[in-house]
Amino acid sequence: MSSIANLTVKKFDGTTDIVFTALVPSSGDKTPAVWRCESVGSAAAHKPTLRMQAQPNGAGNARWVKTEFAYPVTATNSTTGVTSVIGKVSLNASAVLPTDIPDATIREAVAQSVNLLKALLADIANGYAPT
């Protein structure tokens, strides 16, 4: 188990870094750790966030990990100047990690699945499966 820290990732251009600041560490099972991008938006509700929580599955023979990413879309009212959230892009992922499988095997499976999602970045962003 690692300690919460800021996360730096590449933006869509593949060059520019963007930082998600560690806001709240998980206090244990079922409680999410929370990161937020502080360089986007002018209010907390306007900033992209990432949440990650983990807990045992019902049978107690695996860990269930759930991540939720939310990217708010805002618009400013030209009359009032008030900025509001008008939508949200969401990406959710979950993993079931059996406790009786070697750590190296789990790391390999997670690495491959995350890298496969990255390989499908353009397709996911377009909203269509490859044909």
CATH of the domain at 19: 3.30.380.10
Do 67 and 90 belong to one domain?
yes
| Bridge partners for 93 per DSSP | 67
Question: Residue 28's pLDDT band (boundaries 50, 70, 90)?
Answer: very high
Give domain status of residue 1, yes or no: no
Number of domains in the chain: 2
Give domain status of residue 121, yes or no: yes
Whole-number mean pLDDT of the chain?
A: 96
Give domain status of residue 2, yes or no: no
Do 91 and 66 belong to one domain?
yes
Give this prediction's pTM.
Answer: 0.90
Do 85 and 111 belong to one domain?
no
| Residue 1 pLDDT exceeds 90 | no
Domain that holds residue 44: 7-99
Q: In sequence order, which ranges of the chain are alpha helices (DSSP H)?
A: 103-119, 121-126
